[in-house]
Amino acid sequence: MRHWMGIVWVPLALALAAGDSLGGELEARAKELERLIEDQGIYLETAKTGVKLGGWVEASYTYGLNGGGTDSGINGTPTENVVTGDDSNDFSMNAVRLILEKALPEEKTWAAGFRVDLVFGEDAKGGFDNEPGLGNGNSAVNIEAAYVQLRVPVGNCIDISVGKWLSPLGYEATDRAENDNFSFGIGATYLEAGTHTGVLASMPLTDLVTLMFGVCNGWSNSDADFLDGDRGGTSDWAKTLIGGIEVESRGGNAWLIAAASWSSEGDAFAGNVANGLLDGAADGSDIDGEENQNIVAFSINGEWKPVCLDGRLKFAFCIDFVWAEDNLERLGGNTPVGRDANSATAWTAALFARYDLSGRSYLAARGEYLHADDGTLGFTDGLVPSPNSNASIDRNDIYASNADLYSFTLTLGYAPCDGLLLRAEYRLDIASSDGGDDGENNIFGNNRPDQHMFSVDAVYTFW
């Protein structure tokens, strides 16, 4: 580590010895410089200058009122929140995130950099299994991002990221510490990939408009995993294409991002259905010998801070949409029936608001609605509809269960000192789906259509 503090304090000590008249002023200046250094992160002595180390640590406690039951699982295992995945009556070491970065400079010239995000903790277990060497669903360690950056001085410059990078689709960050709310929204949980592995290019057309284009292996996969049963295994060439545009206001108080992805063949992790994968079984095999077809995802989100309130109030929105062709439906675990039964569709709409109560506290609210056709997101309980129900029946006389999910979150944040954030949160989720018996709305357990969750967490950031 560079000996920055030694450089600051040695001249200061000499000045203080010379006289007290300048002592106060020099000491104040030294503290100011110290704060500036801390704000810019921890710089490392490496062969290349400008390498920065930072991150954060987060721990939490969550409690669910789902039917009043806590620690009601087998052998005392806490019953988790069905939507968020958080356990009830449970202390969690959510994440230790270490970030190592050499950012690209502001100058429009040839340049290179990199970024690596290592995540340790319970939240790292959310990754997919198709991440060899990078963490998976059974691992508490995950390489969430690792990419090389290159700036090409063509036009207004093209910035290229090669490796594993964060998806441009969606509003919320992949880490709780970067969001106003503690829990993740239902859109971020179910309809946003989070990360991709491939190549992403960003090209500013003007100071306010930027285009993005990428090619990657699929949804949150470091290796390609596209079903292609008619060739006897995985596809020999199938990729996901991503494109987007970002527009910023002239005053810098508002921005809008619209992005979409398209897979010409079925990505095994894009749109898991209640009774198996799209056009395949739960183990990823392709039962009817046909490959999946188009999968399209779209997201538009934006943020606005009214100038009249000096940035204390923030509004944001996000709309996510996923459509997958060739969704096979089945009854209670039976073999899928026919190809092209119908497509699977799911979408969410979310509104966010944050108001800074003071320089150290804020109140944040989030309201969301999700609709999923035909058990696309596994939100149905798999019940075969009873006689005289209003269940949807498709053209092949197969039960098609639709689900609607409503969610409201209120979060109070307080920063008692620099680097530390404390949050208290209440969350309500309500679900409904068509068809079935009276127990159709039991996806939250105990035959209830809703669930309540309370949580508190602490985050210390050194980035």
pLDDT digits (tens, 9 = 90+) for 285-307: 444 434 456 788 999 999 999 99
Helix (H) / strand (E) element for 295: namely strand 295-304
Q: What is the pLDDT of residue 415?
A: 97
H-run or E-run covering 23: helix 23-39
Q: What is the pLDDT of residue 307?
A: 92
Pairing verdict, β 254-263 and 342-356: unpaired
State residue 13's pLDDT score.
43
β partners of residue 300: 258, 319
Mean pLDDT value across residues 403-418? 93
Cβ pair 302, 275 in contact under 8 A: no
**SS (HEC) of 158-204:** EEEEEEEEECCCCCCCCCHHHCCCCCCCHHHHHCCCCEEEEEEEEEE
Query: Are 117 and 20 in a shared domain?
Result: no
Do residues 83 and 231 share a domain? yes
Tell me, yes or no, whether 83 and 224 share the same domain.
yes
189 phi, psi to nearest 5 deg: -75, -40
pLDDT at residue 365 greater than cutoff 90: yes
Element spanning 28, H or E: helix 23-39
pLDDT score at 409: 96
Q: Are residues 330 and 181 in the same domain?
A: yes
Q: Could you give the percent of the chain with pLDDT greater than 90?
A: 39
Query: Does residue 64 lie within any of the structural domains?
Result: yes
* Statement: residue 375 has pLDDT above 50: yes
Residues 5 and 102 grouped into a single domain? no
Global pTM reads 0.79
- The reply to whether 452 and 303 lie within a common domain is yes
- Our count of domains for the chain comes to 2
Q: What would the mean pLDDT of 340-348 be, rounded to a whole number?
A: 70
Q: How many CB atoms lie within 10 A of CB 285?
A: 12
Task: Collect all residues with Cβ–Cβ distance below 8 Å to 351 and sequence separation of at least 6.
Answer: 315, 316, 317, 366, 367, 368
DSSP string, 387-432: TT---EE-TTS-EE--EEEEEEEEEEEE-SSTTEEEEEEEEEEEEE
Same domain, 59 and 35: no
With a cut of 50, say whether residue 128 has pLDDT above it. Answer: yes
Residue 188 belongs to a domain: yes
With cut-offs at 50, 70 and 90, classify the pLDDT of residue 180. very high
Tens of pLDDT, residue by residue over 199-228, are: 999 999 999 999 999 999 887 777 766 655
Tell whether 45 is covered by a domain: no
Measured CA to CA, the distance from residue 69 to residue 62 in angstroms comes to 13
Q: Which CATH number does the domain housing residue 449 bear?
A: 2.40.160.10
Residue bearing the bigger pLDDT, 343 or 446: 343
Confidence at residue 293, expressed as pLDDT on a 0 to 100 scale: 62
* Partners of residue 372 on adjacent β-strands: 346, 403
Number of neighbouring beta carbons within 10 Å of residue 75: 5
User: For residue 403, is pLDDT > 80?
Assistant: no
Q: What is the span of the domain harbouring residue 25?
A: 1-40
Q: Which of 2-6, 81-85, 98-102 has the lowest mean pLDDT?
A: 2-6
Average pLDDT score over the chain: 75
Same-domain pairing of 350 and 421: yes
Tokens 């920065």 belong to which residue? 52
% of the chain exceeding 70 in pLDDT = 58
